Amino acid sequence: MQKSKNIKLSLNLDNRSYPILIEPGSINGEALRHLVMQSGSGNCVIITDHHLYEIYADWLKTLKVIVVKAGESSKDMSVYESVLERMVKFGISRTGAIIAFGGGVIGDLAGFVAATYMRGIDFYQIPTSLLAMVDSSIGGKVAINLSGGKNLVGTFYQPKAVLIDPTLLNTLDKRQWANGMGEVLKYAIGFNSAFFEEISKYTLTDIMNDHEILLSIITTCCKIKIELVEKDEKDMGIRNLLNFGHTVGHAIEAHYNYEKYLHGEAIAIGIAIKAKIAFEYGQIDGNELKQILDAIRQYELPVSLNERIIKDEAQHLLSYIIQDKKRQVEAIEWITIKKIGEVESKLEKNESIIEKISKELLRI
C-alpha cells in the first residue's frame, strides 16, 4: 500500500472538473474560514448536522451555518424547503456558495440545495464520515428521498472541490467506521480483486488505528470511482455498476424507515444476498462466497437481516425494489457478481429478481 502523505487527485469532466484533495490534518477552523472567504467573499453558508455542530462549535459559530437533524430523515422535502428559506434569510446570492460539512446525508442535501437554489450555485464537499470520503462526496450525485424510496428526487451536480481530511474521522464511533467499510467492500468485491485481498488482511480496529492503511483505502476507492465517473458521468452505462448491493440495500433502508440499518450495513446485506444468489446460480464458487461473507463479517457488518421476517413483511420490503429508480418497465437492471473484483449488469424480469431475493430474505 502506498504511503504518500498528501494526495491530489482530479476528476476530469471538461469545464466541470475538480480536485479531490486527501490531506490529513488540513481541515480546521482557520482553513474553514479561509475557504468561506475564497468561495464566496463571505457570501457562503455551511450546511451541517447538529452532532457535528456540537463537536465543531468553536469553528462554526462565527460563520453562516445551517444546522439540520443528523440522519437520513433530513433528506426530506420539508427539510430541503426550510434550508432554502434559510439561504434567502442569509442573503446568499447567485455568486455565493455552499460548503457541505458532514456525511453522505449532508452532502446529498447540500448538493441538491446548491443545484437548485437560484438555478445553481457553487458548492464544496468536506466529508466527515468514512462512507462519504470513499464514495458519496465524489461524482456529483445529489438527491433527497420520497416516501416511496431513496434518492427519487435528485440530479447530477458536481462540486467545485472535495476536501478529504481523514483526521475528521477520529470522532466517529465503531459502528460508523463499519458503516463506511460497507462501501469500501463494494469497491473491493466489485472492482478490484487485489484491493479485496489487501483489505482481507485487516480488521476494523486496524483501519481505525493505522492512518497509512486508512489513507490508502480512501485513495484506492476514490481512484476507482473517478475512473467510472469520468467514463459515465450521468450514470447511463458503466457507472451504474457502482449500484452493486444498492438495489436491495436501499429497499432495506426504506422498509425500516431509515432507522434500523445504517446505509453501509444495508449495502453489506445487499452484497451478501447478491453473493448467495451468484453462488446458487453458478456464477461464483463456494470458496468465493465464503471469502465475501467472511470479509463482510470481518468488518463487523451484517450478512443478513437481524431477524426472521414473515412473508407479508418481505413483500413490503420487496415493493421498494419495484419502485426503485433503476426500474425499467417490467425489468430491473441487476448488478451481479462474475467473480471477486468484477461485477456485470443484467436486465432481469422483476418476477425473477423478486423470487431470488425473497428466497434469501425468508431463508427458505
pLDDT tens sequence across 59-81: 999 999 999 999 999 999 999 99
For residue 318, is pLDDT > 80?
Answer: no
Per-residue pLDDT band for 148 (boundaries 50, 70, 90) equals confident
For residue 166, is pLDDT > 50?
Answer: yes
CATH number at residue 294: 1.20.1090.10
Q: Who contacts 12 (Cβ-Cβ below 8 Å, separation ≥6)?
A: 230
Place of cell 440530479: 155
Residues 333, 193 share a domain? yes
As a whole number of angstroms, the distance between CA 247 and CA 9 comes to 29
| Average confidence score pLDDT of the chain | 91
Considering the entire predicted model, what is its pTM? 0.92
Q: How many structural domains are present in the chain? A: 2
Residues 246, 342 share a domain? yes
pLDDT at 299: 97
Q: Is the Cβ–Cβ distance between 248 and 357 less than 8 Å?
A: yes
Residues 218, 114 share a domain? no
Residues 66, 78 share a domain? yes
Residues 158, 190 share a domain? no
Residues 200, 130 share a domain? no
As a whole number of angstroms, the distance between CA 177 and CA 162 comes to 20
Residues 222, 78 share a domain? no
The three three-digit cell numbers of residue 307, written as one number: 431477524
The pLDDT of 50-66, averaged and rounded, is 95
Question: Is residue 1 one of the residues assigned to a domain?
Answer: no
Residues 182, 159 share a domain? no
Secondary structure class of 290 (helix, strand, coil): helix
pLDDT at 254: 87
How far is Cα of residue 283 from the mean position of the Cα atoms in its chain? 27
Identify the CA nearest to 147 among candidates 312, 316, 320, 267: 320
- Helix ranges (H only) for 152-245 are 174-191, 193-199, 204-209, 211-231
Question: Is residue 231 one of the residues assigned to a domain?
Answer: yes
As a whole number of angstroms, the distance between CA 241 and CA 174 comes to 28
Per-residue pLDDT band for 5 (boundaries 50, 70, 90) equals confident
The pLDDT of 305-315, averaged and rounded, is 72
Q: Is the Cβ–Cβ distance between 104 and 132 less than 8 Å?
A: yes
Domain containing residue 90? 7-171
For residue 11, is pLDDT > 60?
Answer: yes
The pLDDT of 126-149, averaged and rounded, is 95
pLDDT at 325: 56
The pLDDT of 233-244, averaged and rounded, is 92
Residues 112, 93 share a domain? yes
For residue 364, is pLDDT > 60?
Answer: no
Residues 218, 190 share a domain? yes
Last residue of a domain, one of 171, 203, 219: 171
